[in-house]
A and B are shown apart, each in its own frame.
Chain A
Amino acid sequence: MNSPQYRQRAIQLREELSDEYFILWIWDEALGAAGKPGQFYEIRALSSLANLQTFHAIPKLFKPISIYDNQGGRIGFMIKKVGTGTNALSRLRAGDTLELIGPCGTGFPVFRGRRILLISGGIGYPPLWYLQKELINHNQIYWMHGGGGQADVFPCDEIWTEDGSIGRKGRVCDNLEETITKHEVDTVYSCGPQGLLRTVCEITNKLDIEHYCSLEAYMACGIGVCHGCAVPIGHPEDWTFKRVCKEGPVFNAKEIRWELF
């Protein structure tokens, strides 16, 4: 299964994390076997065009959601309610149907024998959870996660909140240089809001450290056909727009042309 597939699957279990965050679990062995850390699915609460004429209910786009967990066919999506699509997902209960397109994109490279720093902000947490499960037996890992407040943080080695309600007060990248030096980090993985990723890229580029960064983009197709999710990638003099849904979402930090965003 090399290309994204379309499936409808029943939700096996729904887990409540807080008012804003929840996890949906589905079961599919074939999709499970195909998925890798850093890949995502385009998902949606089942919508039908069949009643468009009768009810004028207009189905909306699928939304990109990372693989949060993937073990033996049990696939999890950890989701934050932010707008139309994620609110519709938040109304789903066990037994309801989820539409999926995926697995989409190219995931994180997985190494052995490295000293790794994971750094995530807000809803950048889920893909790193799956990633650290794949890395943990063969690498040394230190994971820092930050969020706005208490509701936005999850288990990891070092927690930061902007309001100081839990963990250290400030942005998760505030002490990054020291952390990288202290833990003798040679590889960084990151995912989160653009502002955070940009700062992390600046620091790892300055220190010349290998860094794989998972970017977000608004998507329409999720499978590489519409070119709607493009981001500027490459050398400063020789870059092109690459698709977050196909060549991404993970890019080498040295190649992300932040100045062109």
Chain B
Amino acid sequence: MGAILNDIWGNSINAVKLLTTRLGKLELSTPLLVASGTFDLENFEFFDPACLGAFVSKTITREPKKGNPPPRLYETEAGLINSIGLQNPGLDKFIHEKLPVYRDKLSMPLIVSFSGSTISEFCQMLETLEASAGIAGYEVNVSCPNVENEGIAFGTDPDIVFELTRRLQEITDKELCIKLSPNVTDIATIAAAAEAGGASSLALINSLWGMAIDYRTGKSKIKKGIGGYTGCGVKPVALALTYKVAQAVRIPILAMGGIYNWQDALEFIWAGASAISLGTANFINPLAAPELIMGLGEYLLSTKKSINDLKGKVEI
């Protein structure tokens, strides 16, 4: 463990043990991950990577994607609106240029996030990824609100989610995490469909729909009008959906949505999460990850409880 973490864990094997958790097929040294699209190797200039249990990369698509026109960002009273539109270099470039760097630089398991527009495209992508070394698992993005007629259509239909998951789990033995959208009528049905299809874990939530308008000019702050809303304002929604999904499935949940600090993280663990991710918080506080792990470690140590002891034990 690095210098900052040494303070509390220097000679405390216990805290380290209390923080371990399981996300499907992966044994994680800490329950903390980073949300796809909000974190990359540059962030490791700020803190010791040892506080992360795994690393989730930015969603890739088969073909390169230019992304949405600017402005793409607006910070609201409580949280952020983004309209990136899944800008990414495409599968080939990812495998030949990014993946070797990740293999070289990452000290924790790599979870690759990917998205497609048809079931067969998802399957082809997974087959290609399976042929590459250095990947511990996959986050299947069926939930990006910033691309029309793509991921989101998948994420809203339980039958398609079931079929997609079933096909994907035939291709891989690695961790298969389905990332769900909050922009649905009943997230529990979709979560159950992913579980029935063979997902080994679920990630939630992706961005909510969000919009901001300049009250003086009537002009949208985001070029595309509607974007994805994330950060502290979405926390109550994310917490409710985590709780709902935890009631509906047995596979582990990687929860996110407005988590900024260790107290937030604990709330999601009480609600049923096995692991949590920091997204927008990485922009708000470059040290959000080490501070969260230090706080959580201290809390667990002082209560002599593990993640597993608290998980889903919310008192209603």
Contact = CB atoms under 8 A, between A and B. Distances in A.
Contact of A60 (B261, B284, B286): B284
21 contacts: A4-B42, A4-B45, A5-B45, A6-B287, A47-B284, A47-B285, A53-B261, A61-B80, A62-B283, A101-B286, A218-B70, A218-B72, A220-B82, A221-B38, A221-B282, A223-B45, A224-B42, A226-B38, A226-B283, A228-B72, A231-B70
Top 7 closest A-B pairs, CB basis? A225-B40, A228-B73, A6-B286, A223-B42, A220-B283, A218-B73, A6-B46
What is the interface residue range for chain A against chain B?
20 to 34
B243 interface: no
A230 B70 contact: yes
Nearest to B69: A260
B78 A52 contact: no
Given A224-B40, A225-B39, A60 B75 contact: yes
A205 interface: no
B42 A220 contact: no
B43 A223 contact: yes
B220 interface: no
B43 A225 contact: yes
Nearest to B86: A227
B236 interface: no
Given A52-B260, A101-B286, A227 B84 contact: yes
B34 to A, nearest CB: 10
Interface in A37-85: 47, 49-50, 52-53, 58-62
Interface of A: 3-6, 47, 49-50, 52-53, 58-62, 101, 217-221, 223-232, 240-241, 260-261
Central interface residue in B40, B67, B70, B261, by most chain A CB within 10 Å? B70
A188 B9 CA distance: 55
B87 interface: yes
Contacts of A101: 286
Nearest to B284: A59
Given A101-B286, A218-B70, A218-B73, 20 more contacts: A6-B46, A47-B285, A49-B260, A49-B285, A58-B78, A60-B284, A61-B80, A218-B74, A220-B75, A221-B283, A224-B40, A225-B38, A225-B40, A225-B58, A226-B73, A226-B82, A227-B67, A228-B82, A230-B72, A240-B66
Contacts of A223: 42-43, 45
A230 B87 contact: yes
Nearest to B84: A227
B276 to A, nearest CB: 15
B70 A226 contact: no
Contacts of B40: 224-225
B232 interface: yes
B90 to A, nearest CB: 12
Nearest to A261: B70
A217 B45 contact: no
